[in-house]
Amino acid sequence: MITVVDGTNGREAQPGRWIAVVVKMYSEKKVSGALTAMGIENYVPVQEETRQWSDRKKKIEKVVIPTILFVKIGKEAEKRLRMLSFIHRVVSYPGRYDAAVIPEEQISRLKLMLRNARESVEVGSAAQLKIGERVRVVRGPMQGLEGKLCCNNADDPKIAIYIEALGYACVRIAREDIEPLPSQTECR
């Protein structure tokens, strides 16, 4: 006989952890709605941008990481998630089946960056970036954001935050709004 105690069948409840899943192109928001309806916490990184057509301007929400959706879920529930028809696969490290777990802090930093960036946020792999010194934004709408400085030249500073198993998200920041962090501070 199986007894149910607070929905855990007598076992310890597993805490949710963030993982990334791959979905069909242009269906990120629809899948997010379906997961929300199922009671599964999820996050689609979007950024508002203004599009210009010949006769009008319109503000739209642009998906920043196409085909990627972040899901906060326990390990047991992940097994059921993998079986859903609209989930193509779970992002994992090469050669591994287990999902790559994304720390809560990295999701929070991404949300802060997207909520406050005045320019378009770009996401790419570490190989596309020149990693510089660790920095913190000290003024402006992204105050408190920590990351690594990615500079192509002195007039074009960018700050990047690392997202586990996906790479870096970066955005332009005014040079006067950032300062170096002490070298012992770990900011990935």
- Give domain limits for the chain: 15-102, 104-188
Mean pLDDT, rounded, for 124-146: 68
Distance of CA 91 to the CA centre of its chain: 13
In degrees to the nearest 10, what's the CA dihedral of 133, 94, 72, 168? 20
Contact assessment for residue 73 and residue 81, using Cβ atoms and an 8 Å cutoff: yes
Mean pLDDT, rounded, for 94-113: 91
Confidence check: pLDDT of 128 > 60: no
Confidence check: pLDDT of 168 > 90: no
Confidence check: pLDDT of 186 > 70: no
Confidence check: pLDDT of 100 > 90: yes
Q: What's the pTM value of the predicted model, to 2 decimals?
A: 0.68
Contact assessment for residue 187 and residue 160, using Cβ atoms and an 8 Å cutoff: no
Average pLDDT, the chain: 81
Burial of 171 (0-12, 13-18, 19+ CB in 10 A): buried
What CATH number labels 15-102? 3.30.70.940
